[in-house]
């Protein structure tokens, strides 16, 4: 009998098995008993679902690069309610303040000339002019307060609508933020009043200590006390940074906005501080560079009898650069607010649904309820 036709002994494996067709359902992987869950070999073969991007951001937690790209995307999508609005709002108060205060500063500069005025005459000039100076500064502060409100409201509306790719006109941004204007003004007044109260109490304490300790010692203690309060101020500023956005984006009251901002910042304080610090440093450096270039360019063409024109040009340039920094910072804070709501409230699910069916409110996510993400 040929060797290749040997019949195996009972209980021995067949040396030449017959390779027939595989059993039905066999796919080259070990069988998985029923009820044992998904096959591990196919667990990672599910198609990856790209996060939706109906607007300037993907609906997922955002990184620093995403926030930076989205900030400029908002400016491109809605340049009038963001960029142009901020420039006009910052430029007009600056020119108004210059028009009100420039004659006083010019007269004061002349009065300081020792060949024209004596010290007694200088003091008399100050006594006569301080009411107009105080009125000018007071009017400037009021206009600046109104300007800040007019920048925060439209910029926030434009950034929120840009998350769904919705364009926003100037009139629409003002109309949608008009109801929050009074609350924004009250927010700024309360914040400013709190800072001024702390400063006033600190100075009063230093004045009280100046008599027993001396003026120099009291001044040093005042500086050390203010430096000690600085970390507390920064901590509170970050904890409350989303308050103005909540006033506009969700039409909250001041108390509810404080509570919501406090909750949204929880667990992300250092991250938000780092992002805002980097953005602030970059914007500050760019602003300083642009202002220096403009000063040099202005000095080349404006001199002598046109010195007043140089002052006007310099103030206008600083106002424009300040407006750019303000609006970029506000858009960044609004997008950080969206990111925080995605992480804490699953706002991405709400925005994705609104991108398909249309938002029930002109501001996306306006009436969204808090959805706790699974732990």
Q: Provide the pLDDT for residue 33.
A: 47
Give yes or no for residue 174 having a pLDDT over 80: yes
The verdict on residue 91 lying in a domain is yes
Q: Provide the pLDDT for residue 216.
A: 86
Least confident of 108-117, 158-167, 266-275, 291-300: 108-117
Q: Provide the pLDDT for residue 287.
A: 83
Give yes or no for residue 283 having a pLDDT over 80: yes
The verdict on residue 366 lying in a domain is no
Q: What are the two backbone dihedrals, phi and then psi, of residue 212, each rounded to the nearest 5 degrees?
A: -80, -30
More confident residue, 318 or 251: 251
The verdict on residue 143 lying in a domain is yes
More confident residue, 375 or 323: 323
The verdict on residue 363 lying in a domain is no
Q: Provide the pLDDT for residue 153.
A: 94
Q: pLDDT tens digit string along 214-259?
A: 888 888 999 999 999 999 999 999 999 999 999 999 999 999 999 9
The verdict on residue 362 lying in a domain is no
Q: Provide the pLDDT for residue 124.
A: 57
Q: Total domain count for the chain? A: 1
Residue 86's Cβ-count burial label (10 Å; 0-12, 13-18, 19+) is: buried
User: pLDDT tier at 99 (50, 70, 90 boundaries)?
Assistant: confident
Mean pLDDT of the chain: 79
The verdict on residue 6 lying in a domain is no
Give yes or no for residue 22 having a pLDDT over 50: no
Give yes or no for residue 305 having a pLDDT over 60: no
User: pLDDT tier at 313 (50, 70, 90 boundaries)?
Assistant: confident
Give yes or no for residue 353 having a pLDDT over 90: yes
The verdict on residue 19 lying in a domain is no
The verdict on residue 269 lying in a domain is yes
pTM of the predicted protein model: 0.76
Give Cα 15 to chain centroid, integer Å.
76
Q: Which domain holds residue 311?
A: 64-357
Q: pLDDT tens digit string along 112-132?
A: 444 445 555 545 555 555 566
Give yes or no for residue 176 having a pLDDT over 70: yes
Residues sharing a CB contact under 8 Å with residue 365, sequence separation 6 or more, in sequence order: 160, 163, 249, 250, 338, 341, 347, 350, 351, 354, 359
User: pLDDT tier at 310 (50, 70, 90 boundaries)?
Assistant: low
């Amino acid at each position: 009998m040929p060797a290749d036709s040997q019949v195996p002994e009972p209980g021995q494996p067949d040396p030449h098995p017959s390779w027939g067709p595989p059993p039905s359902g066999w796919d080259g992987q070990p069988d998985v008993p029923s009820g044992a869950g998904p096959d591990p070999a196919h667990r990672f073969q599910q198609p990856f679902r790209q996060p939706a991007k109906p607007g300037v951001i993907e609906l997922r937690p955002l990184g620093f690069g995403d926030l930076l790209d989205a900030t400029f995307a908002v400016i491109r999508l809605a340049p009038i309610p963001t960029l142009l609005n901020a420039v006009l709002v910052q430029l007009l108060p600056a020119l108004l303040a210059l028009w009100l205060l420039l004659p006083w500063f010019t007269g004061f500069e002349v009065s300081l000339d020792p060949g024209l005025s004596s010290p007694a005459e200088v003091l008399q000039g100050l006594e006569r002019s301080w009411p107009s100076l105080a009125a000018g500064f007071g009017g400037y502060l009021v206009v600046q307060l109104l300007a800040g409100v007019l920048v925060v409201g439209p910029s926030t509306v434009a950034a929120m609508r840009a998350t769904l790719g919705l364009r926003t006109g100037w009139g629409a941004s003002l109309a949608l933020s008009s109801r929050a204007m009074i609350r924004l003004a009250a927010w700024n007044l309360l914040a400013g009043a709190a800072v001024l109260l702390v400063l006033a109490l600190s100075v009063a304490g230093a004045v009280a200590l100046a008599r027993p300790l001396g003026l120099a010692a009291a001044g040093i203690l005042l500086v050390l006390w203010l430096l000690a309060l600085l970390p507390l101020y920064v901590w509170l500023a970050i904890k409350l940074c989303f308050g103005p956005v909540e006033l506009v984006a969700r039409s909250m009251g001041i108390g509810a906005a404080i509570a919501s901002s406090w909750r949204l910042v929880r667990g992300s304080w250092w991250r938000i501080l780092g992002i805002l610090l980097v953005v602030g440093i970059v914007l500050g450096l760019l602003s300083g560079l642009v202002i220096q270039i403009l000063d040099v360019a202005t000095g080349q063409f404006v001199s002598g009898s046109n010195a007043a024109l140089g002052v006007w040009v310099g103030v206008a340039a600083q106002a424009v650069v300040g407006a750019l920094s303000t609006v970029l910072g506000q858009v960044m804070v609004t997008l950080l607010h969206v990111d925080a709501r995605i992480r804490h409230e699953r706002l991405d699910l709400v925005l994705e649904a609104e991108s398909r069916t249309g938002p029930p409110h002109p501001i996306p996510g306006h009436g969204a309820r808090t959805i706790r993400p699974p732990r």
